[in-house]
Amino acid sequence: MKNRIASFTFAGIAAVALTFTSCSSDEEVNELVPAVTYSADTLQATFFQAETSVEPNINWNGNVGTLSLSPQISGLSINATTGAIEWTKQLPIGTHAFSVLATNSAGTSSIDLVINNPFQGVFTGTYDDVSFYELEFFKDGSIHVRADDPINPSTANGTWTKVGDSIRSDYTYTLGGAFSLLGLLTLSDSAVYSGNWFNGHGTINGNEGGVFQVVMH
């Protein structure tokens, strides 16, 4: 009977020791997972400007690993050494959610961030390939138009919205006359907005008046 009690006691002690060792091991692994802290979880971009965020605080816990972004967004990247978020002029307009993944042999930490890139700025060019045309977009969704004479232009005010991959604008001239635009925004070395202008608001099929192209450098 004594031998059986001793056997059970030894088995119990071994089980407790094994559990303690397992928990301690788990805690040590968790402590090695990298910790990354950014000063803000929302980044503000300026349309068509290359910029870099403030560097985060990175604690690799003695086990240096790698940094990456998910998902991949055109014009957006991360400095593999400092963890700073970098974006180029080609960052698409709008609000983009993404995650920074900090990975070492102990595991991965995921930090959720958002970057806002509101559409704004002055675009200058022509309509119908001849006449002076200048559009100033504001991030509140309003638009100011200057046309025909660059020195003493006709002026108009209106609104713009993003519709899928296109930008649509409705505006009315100070001296009368309602028009609208529907075009695509292309980002490369320059920001180019081009498409059709329409008589009346709403970019109604059949009311096309001609073409336009304006550029922001």
Q: Write the pLDDT tens digit of every residue in 33-58.
A: 999 999 999 999 999 999 999 999 99
Beta-strand relationship, 142-148 and 94-104: unpaired
CA dist., res. 184 & res. 163, Å (int): 10
CA dist., res. 90 & res. 98, Å (int): 17
Predicted pLDDT at 128: 98
Q: How confident is the model at residue 31 (pLDDT cuts 50, 70, 90)?
A: low
Q: Which residues pair with 70 in a beta bridge?
A: 99
Does position 135 have pLDDT exceeding 60, yes or no?
yes
Q: Once rounded to an integer, what is the mean pLDDT over residues 131-155?
A: 98
Under a CB-based contact definition with an 8 Å cutoff, are residues 91 and 18 in contact? no
Under a CB-based contact definition with an 8 Å cutoff, are residues 10 and 2 in contact? no
Count of residues making up the chain: 217
| 167 Cβ contact list (under 8 Å, min separation 6) | 119, 160, 161, 181, 182, 183, 184, 185, 193
29: tokens are 């692994």
Beta-strand relationship, 42-44 and 107-117: parallel
What is the value of pTM for the model shown?
0.81
Predicted pLDDT at 32: 86
Does position 24 have pLDDT exceeding 80, yes or no?
no
- Cα Dmax for the chain: 110
For residue 16, give the 3-state DSSP assignment: helix
- Give the amino acid at 83: G
For residue 53, give the 3-state DSSP assignment: coil
The secondary structure of residue 92, as a DSSP letter, is P
Q: Once rounded to an integer, what is the mean pLDDT over residues 13-23?
A: 40
Mean per-residue pLDDT of the chain: 89
Reference 49, options 67, 25, 70, 75; nearest CA is 75
The position carrying tokens 């690993």 is: 65
Query: To which H or E segment does residue 211 belong?
Result: strand 208-216
At 6, give phi and psi (nearest 5°).
-60, -40
Other C-beta atoms lying within 10 Å of the C-beta of residue 65: 20
pLDDT in tens, 106-127: 999 999 999 999 999 999 999 9
For residue 88, give the 3-state DSSP assignment: coil
Does position 2 have pLDDT exceeding 70, yes or no?
no
pLDDT in tens, 68-109: 999 999 999 999 889 999 999 999 999 999 999 999 999 999
Does position 16 have pLDDT exceeding 80, yes or no?
no
The position carrying tokens 């059709």 is: 196
